Structure 1
Amino acid sequence: MILSKVSKHHCLLQFRIHINPQETNLPKIPFGPFNLFIQRRWKKPANTAQTRLESRTIDSKLNRLTTYLKKLKTILKIYELMSNRKRGPFVSLQLMSRWTNIVGLNVGMGEFVHKHPHVFDVFTHPVRRNLCCRISGKFKGLVSEEEGLVKDCELECAKRVKRLLMMSKNGRLHVHALRLIRRELGLPEDFRESVLGKYKEDFRLVDLEIVELVDKDENFGVAEVEKWREKEYREKWLSEFETKFAFPINFPTGFKIERGFREKLKNWQMLPYLKPYEGNEVVQVGACGGKNRYEKRAVAMIHELLSLTVEKMVEVERLAHFKKDFGMEVNVRELLLKNPGIFYISTKGSTHTVILREAYSKGCLIEPNPIYVVRRKMLDLVLLGCRNTRELQDEEEIKNGSDSLIRKAFAGNTTVGEWVVPILESFDNVNDHDDPGEIIDASEEFDGC
């Protein structure tokens, strides 16, 4: 009787077996009606910098901008290779096809060149009868204009380098790190001689690859974010406690705010920290709030470095070369991903580029500078593609011109309908002088071998 009761209760019991497939050598049992009692423990998903990078909120406008800039850099590499040749200002397409891997193209060189007729002039060699290519006059003029602006802004370049040295731990920087972001800072190609060697009262070359700051300037001790704080304090009448250590936050469209995120962000904004130009002491991580203060100082230093660049963006790999000189013993990519309202990382163009979010609006720089304006003109010329760029008259000019023709026609006592003839002749003259399909300027002399 007792055994029958035990067996009866035994049939009604449901055993739950806790199995971890990674710790046991048991074969994986497929899900079915006979193993419903088995409970599996699934592994917790990893929370790393790579997973956060993949799950971040995408900013389509900034991604599109970095894609376009990647194409512009490719064209500038081709221009540099063509300029280094001594035989002439043009190169055959057969020779240019060997540069495909050098410049990092995914398509053929001939196809890429024909897609940008406003940048490259393709013509047939009069003797060899092969296709050759040269840089268009308009694009070459923009490159020369940029080089002239960079030379004229040597004093501004020296100030930028001086600010970077003031942020460094020992007042020293590696020249190699500056060379990597030379174009981002707007430095000339020979900045070692024209900037570091020219302003000897500010810089001193300790070694072949190390530059040292001679004397600090108190006028450069104000960071760019502090100007924004002063503006917020005056215009929005916020308290000094709220704006003293705050940063401009601008989340991308579609950013999901989780529960408790606003409170954490508010506490982080009011957290005091050591500003970039105040001192070179390193905050101890073990102190009260030391880790957060240490990371906030690193955020401020990266924010200031991006503010000193021309286009407010730098590749993450190149930014990591300043970690040791700035005393930032943190994972730079992970730190940038923790602050999506301040920085945005774009993975377009086979590189990771960090962009200062507050500096851009709808894919354009809010406060442009002369060098950025010239580079934007280059980018606009590249983005024209195969489209025609015939400059049309304004509607008012056409209307005024037609009205004047009508007045002249009626002033000469012409019959009705005769005034239409001069209008048609004027438009025919305009169209005769404008050939949209022409690639090479006929007035330009051919450069021989």
Structure 2
Amino acid sequence: MGVGLGTAKLPHRLNPIRTFVDAKVKWVRDPYLDFAVEREKNLHQALSFKNQILFQSESNPSKSKSLSLSLASLLKPSLNLSTSSSKFFLRYPSFFSIFHPASALPPRVKLTPALLSLHYQESAIHTSLPHRSDAVNRLSRLLMLTGATRLPLYLIDRLKWDLGLPHNFVGSLLADYPDYFQVCEVEDVSTGRKELALELLSWREELAVSELEKRTNQSKRIAFPMCLPKGFELEKKVKDWVEEWQRLPYISPYENGFHLSPNSDQAEKWTVGVLHELLWLLVSKKTQRDNLFCLGEYLGFGSGFKKALKHHPGIFYVSNKIRTQTVVLREAYRKDFLVVKHPLMAMRYRYIHLLNKMPKTNRRKSLVVE
């Protein structure tokens, strides 16, 4: 799309046209980060089912907090399930309970009391003033990273889980901040169709400071933390290139870098800065690679994000676990643990514990009549 950042172009003098050295940077498996990804297997899908069941009950209060299996099966493609919805529910009896209504209607699925208890605790976090302020700030910073301070809702929806936004964030969060956000229309340049987008109404200068700038208390000579896994060694010519690349001026991801030659090392350092800041905004400091590529393509980075992941394995790790590719910000983890754990991540670990817990009386193959 080629949108520029909202601030004026910066007169950065050092813009050498040097491309990455002709050397292959091999991918090396990191078992700790793989485990950090793999332990969340099926969590997103399970919580999406939970939210759908609760949404159905809210839209029709006369119905019990349950969902028909036939309706649940329609959600399988959107949730990327590898099995049928009924088998999915039976696999996690601490989350879901399948029952036959007494009226002989088709079987339905409901949430267990233990899952409902965790849901209400999570809801208390979402509705707390500190978390709402935190979510609004992170969403504002995401929109500021786009430069145009607006982003199609479908792209925000892709990142909703990773940003820690509530299920119905437009109605439950944004509606309370009319001075910050508005829903508008943008044109998709590839199709010409209008898309609903979220726009930040005014630039918030106090938020336009990247995580790296906060840590170093400076804005120009900043190097990215490198966390290569044990036993991994860069070729000498790659290592020399990275060391020189690290000494280039740091351009804030909230500044305009599109005036830089796209094939320059300086442009790549700015692109890495945008990608680094984006991942830092996420509560788990990771997201599916396709989410980043879709966002990067929309913002006009082209293959910039892809090159950044390939060239800088000490900053970003790409895991191949759980039937997808997940990009992890290395410095955010010590082994498989988050260095800074967001309250929502603490809740997700509790969900994971319950998800994998088997009841003392296993009723996986029984259907209760109610």
TM-score by length of structure 2 reads 0.75
Equivalent residues in 2 for 1:27-176, closer than 5 Å: 55-83=26-54, 84=56, 87-90=63-66, 103-107=79-83, 109=85, 111-121=87-97, 133-152=109-128, 153-176=131-154
What amino acid is aligned across from residue 361 of structure 2 in structure 1?
Answer: G
In the superposition, relative to structure 1, how do residues 74 and 246 fare at CA in structure 2: closer, same or farther (>3 Å)?
same
SS in 2 for 1:348: coil
2:221–2:248 Cα contact (<8 Å) kept: no
Q: CA deviation at 1:114?
A: 3.8
In the superposition, relative to structure 1, how do residues 188 and 58 fare at CA in structure 2: closer, same or farther (>3 Å)?
same
Unaligned runs of 5+ in 1: 1-51, 231-239, 389-435, 441-445
1:249–1:341 Cα contact (<8 Å) kept: yes
Q: CA deviation at 1:332?
A: 2.1
Q: Deviations over 1:120-171 (max 9, x none)?
A: 3356767759986432111122123223322322222221122123222333
Q: Deviations over 1:89-113 (max 9, x none)?
A: 4467788677665644434555544
In the superposition, relative to structure 1, how do residues 214 and 324 fare at CA in structure 2: closer, same or farther (>3 Å)?
farther
What amino acid is aligned across from residue 47 of structure 2 in structure 1?
Answer: L
The equivalent position to 2:197 in structure 1, one of 210, 213, 216, is 210
The equivalent position to 2:156 in structure 1, one of 178, 196, 201, is 178
User: What is residue 313 of structure 2 aligned with on the other side?
Assistant: 340
User: What is residue 9 of structure 2 aligned with on the other side?
Assistant: none
1:170–1:325 Cα contact (<8 Å) kept: no
User: What is residue 316 of structure 1 aligned with on the other side?
Assistant: 289
Q: CA deviation at 1:374?
A: 0.7
Q: Deviations over 1:381-404 (max 9, x none)?
A: 1233x3x6xxxxxxxxxxxxxxxx
In the superposition, relative to structure 1, how do residues 128 and 179 fare at CA in structure 2: closer, same or farther (>3 Å)?
closer
Greater RCO, CA 8 A, separation 6+: 2
| Cα distance in 2, alignment partners of residues 100 and 177 from structure 1 | 21
1:204–1:211 Cα contact (<8 Å) kept: yes
For the pair shown, the structure with the greater C-alpha radius of gyration is 1
The equivalent position to 2:340 in structure 1, one of 359, 367, 379, is 367
2:94–2:354 Cα contact (<8 Å) kept: yes
SS in 2 for 1:64: helix
| Cα distance in 1, alignment partners of residues 78 and 297 from structure 2 | 31
Q: CA deviation at 1:249?
A: 0.6
Q: Deviations over 1:189-232 (max 9, x none)?
A: 333344444323333444262333333233212211223334xx
1:344–1:354 Cα contact (<8 Å) kept: yes
What amino acid is aligned across from residue 175 of structure 1 in structure 2?
Answer: L
2:68–2:106 Cα contact (<8 Å) kept: yes
SS in 2 for 1:70: coil
TM-score by length of structure 1 reads 0.63
In the superposition, relative to structure 1, how do residues 173 and 129 fare at CA in structure 2: closer, same or farther (>3 Å)?
closer
What amino acid is aligned across from residue 66 of structure 1 in structure 2?
Answer: V
Equivalent residues in 2 for 1:209-358, closer than 5 Å: 209-230=196-217, 244-277=221-254, 279-285=255-261, 291-323=264-296, 326-358=299-331
In the superposition, relative to structure 1, how do residues 292 and 78 fare at CA in structure 2: closer, same or farther (>3 Å)?
same
RMSD of the TM alignment (CA)?
A: 3.4
Question: Which structure features the higher share of helix residues?
Answer: 1
| Cα distance in 2, alignment partners of residues 66 and 309 from structure 1 | 14
Unaligned runs of 5+ in 2: 1-23, 186-194
1:125–1:132 Cα contact (<8 Å) kept: yes
In the superposition, relative to structure 1, how do residues 89 and 187 fare at CA in structure 2: closer, same or farther (>3 Å)?
closer
What amino acid is aligned across from residue 50 of structure 2 in structure 1?
Answer: Y
| Cα distance in 2, alignment partners of residues 283 and 95 from structure 1 | 50
Q: State, as a whole percentage, how many aligned pairs show the same letter.
A: 27
In the superposition, relative to structure 1, how do residues 105 and 297 fare at CA in structure 2: closer, same or farther (>3 Å)?
same
